[in-house]
Amino acid sequence: MSSATPAAAPDVTNPDVVLVVDFGAQYAQLIARRVREARVYSEIVPSTMPVAEMLAKDPKAIILSGGPSSVYAENAPRLDRALFEAGVPVFGMCYGFQLMATTLGGTVDNTGAREYGRTPLHVSKAGSTLFEGTPVEQSVWMSHGDACSAAPEGFAVTASTDVVPVAAFENDEKKLYGVQYHPEVLHSTHGQQILEHFLYRGAGIEPSWTTGNVIEEQVAAIRAQVGDKRAVCGLSGGVDSAVAAALVQKAIGSQLTCVYVDHGLMRKGETEQVEKDFVASTGVNLKVVDAQERFLTALAGVSDPETKRKIIGREFIRVFEQAQLEILQEEGPEVAFLVQGTLYPDIVESGGGTGTANIKSHHNVGGLPDDIEFELVEPLRQLFKDEVRMVGQELGLPEEIVQRQPFPGPGLGIRIVGEVTKERLDLLREADAIAREELTAAGLDRDIWQCPVVLLADVRSVGVQGDGRTYGHPIVLRPVSSEDAMTADWSRLPYEVLAKISTRITNEVADVNRVVLDVTSKPPGTIEWE
C-alpha cells in the first residue's frame, strides 16, 4: 500500500475489493497482504461461503488460495462451478488452481510425484497476460502432491516444470487464470509481478487503494457509528492503540477520551512514555487509571496462559466501565463506545472470519466478557501491522510511536511462564529493558520485528555466581523477523550483541543466572510463548 496520489479517485466508502477464498492455506493472509501491496483492497472469505454471498460483495476479482487438501480427498473443499461462470476474473493458486482445473473439465492426476520448495518454472508463452515481461526460466515455490496434466477446454497452457506439464494456464476470454505454485511468497522470484499482472491486466483493476483512502473511509465510518455520543479508547502505548486513537480523534475530536490503564504489566518506562509522547503529539484527553493492585490480585495463583489472557481482558473492561462512570460524572454525555486497536492478524488468529482455529485469545478479541456494555469501534481490524504504521505516519504520529516494536495487549503477563507476581514482573522488566537498550545501541531496532523477553518463572536452573552455586530463573530472548506477524523467523543477531545482553542480564538482574535464545520460526511456534 502506498500513500501516493491515486490514478483515479476511488469511492472510499466502497473500494474495489478482491476476495481471497481461503481453502485452509497457511499463506491466505499473505495473499491478501500482497494484493494490498499492489494498492488494491482485499478481504479473506472462507471457502464455505456460498458463491451467491461472494458475488453479493461485488468483487472486482477473486483469488483462490492454496490448501493442504488433495482434490481427490473425500472431504476436500469444493467450489460451485457458478463462480467461474459469473464473469468475475478468477486467479487460482496451488490447490485453487487444481480446483479450477477439475471443476472446469481439466485433468489433475494423483501421480505421487511431488514438488516442494524452490522449483524451476519454464514459461512457454512469455507474452501471456500473467507472464509478459518476466523471464522464460524463473524460480517458484511449489508445495503439492497432485499435478495437472491437461488444462480445461479453452485454456492456454503457459508454463510447466520438469514434473508438471501444466503449471500455469490462462483463458483471457473468460478472465480465468491459474498457477500451480505460490506467487505470494518471496521465494517465487517474480510472484508479485505475476499477481499484479492478474489484477491490472487480467481483471482491469486500477491500483488506487492508499493510506489516504483508509483514513477517509474510516473517519466517515466512525462518525456514522458514533454519532453525537462519546467514546473511550484503551491506550496501551503501542502502535495499534495509538493509531486507532488518533484515527478516532480525527473523526470525532473531543468526543473521545483515551484511558490508559496502568495494570502493572507494562515494560520499564512505558507509562511515562505514553503520557508524554502521545499526548504531546495529539493533544488527546488522557485519563490515567492506576489498577496495578487490582490486576495482580486477579492474577494471583494463575499459571494457565489462556486463563491469564481472559482475566486480563475481563479486568480491562471492568476498569473501562468504572472510567465510564467517572467520565459521565465529569462530562455528562453517555459514553457508549470502546475503541480498540484490533488488527487483521488478531482476528485471524482468534478464529474469526476465515474458519481457522483459535490460536490465541487476545484481550481485545477473544477475551472480552460476554456482558460487555460497550459497542466496539475497531477501525484497524482489516489492516496488517505495516499498513497500520503507514496510516500512523499519514496521521502525523511521531516515529517513536509509529515504529515501536509490537507489544501484546496482556503485556508482561503472558511473558511470564507461570504465576504473575510483582517480584517476577520487576525482574522481567529489568531484563527486558537491558535487551531493548542493547538492541537500540547496536542499531538493530529496524532489523527485527520484535524481541519478546520471557521469564521462565516456574523453572530453576543451576548456575555459579561469585563463589557459590545458584538456582536462578532462565530468561529467554525471542528476536524475530517478520512482515506482518502471520509468519516469522528468528533473527540472526550478531553474537557480540547477544553476548552483551546475556552478560548484563546475568550480572545486573537478581535471581537470573541463564539467558537462552529461541531459534524457532512461526510456524511451528508463535511469537509469544503464551
* Catalytic residue set: 94, 182, 184
In which residue are the cell numbers 500482497 written? 34
Please report, for residues 236, 375, 381, 396, the alpha-carbon distance to residue 340 in angstroms, rounded to integers and kept in the order given: 10, 11, 9, 19
Residue 67 cell numbers, joined: 490448501
Q: Under DSSP, is residue 140 helix (H, G, I), strand (E, B) or coil? A: strand
At 398, list the grid cell.
511521531
Question: What residues contact 482, with CB distance under 8 A and at least 6 apart?
Answer: 449, 488, 489, 522, 527
With 0-12 / 13-18 / 19 or more C-beta atoms within 10 angstroms meaning exposed / middle / buried, residue 59 is buried
Largest CA distance in the chain: 81
Nearest to 218 by CA among 192, 241, 250, 194: 250
Q: SS3 letters for 390-423?
A: HHHHHCCCCHHHHCCCCCCCCHHHHCECCCCCHH
Q: Are the beta carbons of 66 and 36 closer than 8 angstroms?
A: no
Measure the CA–CA gap between 429 and 266, rounded to whole angstroms.
8
Nearest to 453 by CA among 470, 485, 430: 430
Alpha carbon distance 491, 480 (integer Å): 5
| Residue 133 burial by Cβ neighbours in a 10 Å radius (0-12, 13-18, 19+) | exposed
Rounded distance, CA 515 to CA 353, Å? 39
Integer Cα distance of 264 and 433 in angstroms = 15
User: Strands across the sheet with 90-93, in order?
Assistant: 41-46, 17-22, 61-64, 90-93, 176-179, 168-171, 156-160, 115-123, 137-144
Tell me if 161 sits within 8 A of 167, measured CB to CB: yes
